[in-house]
Amino acid sequence: MKEISSPIIQKAQLIKAVICDVDGVLTDGGIIYDNNGLELKRFNVKDGQIVKYLKQYGILVGVITGRASQVVKNRCEELKMDFHYHGISNKAEVLAAILKDYKLEAEEVAYIGDDINDLPVITKVGLAATPNDGHFKVKEFVDLVLEAEGGKGTLRELGDIILTAKDNYGEIIQQLT
C-alpha cells in the first residue's frame, strides 16, 4: 500500500460506513451474457475478504448500484452486506436514507464510485474514492484515486486504508497468528 497522506488518514479515522458502486468498482465493468441470456460477472475475492474485517470493527458495508442484477444481489447476500440497493437512478436519495436509517453523519461515510453518475454521492461523503481507471472527471472530485482498477480489489484497498487509520490491523494479525 502506498503512503497515505495525513488528511486521508484523518478522514478514514471517522468512517463508520463504506458504500460502493458495483460495475467498474467491484467488477471491471464488463458484463457477460451466455447464449441463454444468463448474466455473468467477475468479483474479486479480496473485496469479499475485507468486508468481514470491516464489519468486525463495526463498520457498515453496503452497495448502491444503478443496475438491477440478480448476480450482484447474490454476491451482496453472500458477503452479508448490511444493505444493498439495486436499480437506483438517484443515488443521493438513497445515501440520505442510509444516513437517516443508520444515524450517520456524511463525514462518517466512505464511498467508491467510478463514473459521473456517482458524483451526487461522491460530493456528499466524508471520504470519496475512485478506482485507478475511474472516469477522468470523477478523479477531480474524490479525495483518493486508488491504486487498484475496478474489479481488482478497490474495496479491499480502501478497507485496508480505513482499518490501518483506525489502528485495527495489529489486532487482526494477532488473531490470525
pLDDT(46) > 80: yes
34 is in an annotated binding site: no
Task: Work out the mean pLDDT of the chain and round it to a whole number.
Answer: 96
* pLDDT score recorded for residue 98: 98
pLDDT confidence tier of residue 148, bands split at 50, 70 and 90? very high
Cβ atoms of 161 and 8 closer than 8 Å: yes
Cell triple for residue 55?
464489519
Q: Write the CA distances from 21 to 12, 44, 119, 129, 173, integer angstroms.
A: 19, 14, 11, 11, 29
User: What are 33's strand-pairing partners?
Assistant: 39
pLDDT tens digits, residue range 90-132? 999 999 999 999 999 999 999 999 999 999 999 999 999 999 9
50-89 per-position pLDDT tens digit: 999 999 999 999 999 999 999 999 999 999 999 999 999 9
> Is 2 a residue whose pLDDT tops 80?
no
Evaluate if residue 3 carries a pLDDT over 90: no
* C-alpha distances in Å from residue 62, one per residue of 16, 38, 175: 11, 25, 25
Q: What is the reported pLDDT for 96?
A: 98
Q: What pLDDT, on a 0 to 100 scale, did the predictor assign at position 170?
A: 87
Sorted by sequence, the CB contacts under 8 Å of residue 155 that are 6+ apart come out as 18, 20, 25, 26, 46, 47, 50, 51, 112
Please indicate if the annotation marks 21 as binding a ligand: yes
Phi (first) and psi of residue 71, to 5 degrees: -60, -45
Q: pTM here?
A: 0.95
Domain ranges of the chain: 6-175
Tell how far CA 11 is from the center of its chain: 15
Q: How far is CA 140 from CA 67, 91, 95, 113, 125, in A?
A: 24, 19, 21, 12, 15
CATH (one of 3.30.110.30, 3.90.70.10, 3.40.50.1000, 3.40.50.300) for 6-175 = 3.40.50.1000
Q: Is 114 annotated as a binding residue?
A: yes
Query: Counting Cβ atoms within 10 Å, is residue 67 exposed (0-12), middle (13-18) or buried (19+)?
Result: middle
- Category of 83 on φ-ψ map: left (φ > 0), alpha (ψ -120 to 50) or beta: beta
* pLDDT band at 160; cut points 50, 70, 90: very high
Which DSSP state fits 36? Answer: T
